[in-house]
Amino acid sequence: MEGRVMKSTGSWYEVMGQDGKKYNCRLQGKLRLDAAKETNPVAVGDRVELLADKDDASITEVKSRDNHILRQSVKKTGHSQVLAANVDQVLLIATLKQPRTSLGFIDRFLVSAESFRIPQVLLINKKDLMSPQDIRAAEDLQKIYQSIDVKTEVISAMNDDVKLVQALVKDKTTLVAGHSGVGKSTLLNKLVPGIHQTVSEVSDFTNKGTHTTTFAEMFPIDKKTFVIDTPGIKEWGLVEMGQQEISDYFPEMRELRMDCKFGSRCLHLTEPACRIRREVEEGHIALSRYDSYVSMVMGDDNRK
């Protein structure tokens, strides 16, 4: 029977079979040997073949992935981990306060997703905590991101805005990401009937949250709709990306960068006749996006 991996704890996998039932599986012996060579032979979202007996189930085959999203370990450089496979979109939840998500972090995350060719949605959450001035700032961000085709909404997970999100995730597999405490689990508890993901107060001391969710887990909303809750991300490292490559993943730069005098060799920093810098000066490319771009190219804060 075919199934989809909902949760992985290392040696056990929770798989939802086509029959809609959940099975606790191990990897079949042969796969276990292959697996020893790879970091993530089986990830949340993987499509697998499973063999289920009375009280024993095992994964006998892992189907090839349409895509995956990697998370770079910031402690050990070069180490990355498959956060999830076969996702249709990523949904980044950001907040202006409690905790504050920096624009640099938002842009680094979007660039990563773009490099995996996965469409992105941005939710700016906790609208109910925002002053009128904050709401205007959030709406300005919404304009910036919508202009680069990232669907963006300013919402509160505490009220009816959840209906908006329901429409955004319908018939897709969506990976939900964001800093600890932004409200990922709160939102999923409202989206998925019958789940009770633990939610905790954002620590008043640090305003940073304490990582309530500790590993990725996928939940079905209906037969074709899945959402993946993930642990809060502190930083988001860029996975092996060359300097020249970065502007490819800024949609507003991608089309124009060949118009620079130095073409694909232009890093849009101080080079003469740079089309990208002209667009920034003329206000067609948001300054905040360009600033994020520069810090990524300089590699000076790619882990904040």
Which chain residues interact with Mg ion by CB under 5 A?
184-185, 212-213
Q: CB–CB of 296/246 below 8 Å?
A: yes
CB-nearer residue toward ligand GTP: 86 or 180: 180
Q: Which does 71 bind (CB under 5 to 8 A by kind): Zn ion, Mg ion, ligand GTP, none?
A: none
Q: Which does 274 bind (CB under 5 to 8 A by kind): ligand GTP, Mg ion, Zn ion, none?
A: Zn ion
Q: What distance in Å separates the CA atoms of residue 26 and residue 11, rounded to the nearest whole number?
A: 6
For residue 182, how far is the Cα from the chain centroid? 13
Interacting positions 119-148 with ligand GTP (CB under 6 A): 125-126, 128-129
Q: How many residues bind ligand GTP (CB under 6 A)?
A: 25
CB of 97 to Mg ion, least distance (A): 18
Asked if 184 interacts with ligand GTP (CB under 6 A), we say yes
Q: Which range binds Zn ion by CB under 5 A, 8-16, 200-208, 258-266, 280-288? A: 258-266
Interacting positions 208-237 with ligand GTP (CB under 6 A): 209, 211-213, 231-232
Asked if 274 interacts with Zn ion (CB under 5 A), we say yes
CB-nearer residue toward Zn ion: 66 or 271: 271
Q: Which does 268 bind (CB under 5 to 8 A by kind): ligand GTP, Zn ion, Mg ion, none?
A: Zn ion
Which of 266, 280, 285, 296 forms a contact with Zn ion (CB under 5 A)? 266
The two tokens of residue 241 are 């990306």
Q: What distance in Å separates the CA atoms of residue 44 and residue 176, rounded to the nearest whole number?
A: 13
Asked if 180 interacts with ligand GTP (CB under 6 A), we say yes
69-84 as b/e, with b when 16 or more CB fall inside 10 Å? bbbbeeeeeeebebbb
Footprint on this chain of ligand GTP (rule: CB under 6 A): 125-126, 128-129, 156-158, 178, 180-186, 199-202, 209, 211-213, 231-232
Residues that bind Zn ion (CB under 5 A): 260, 266, 268, 274, 276
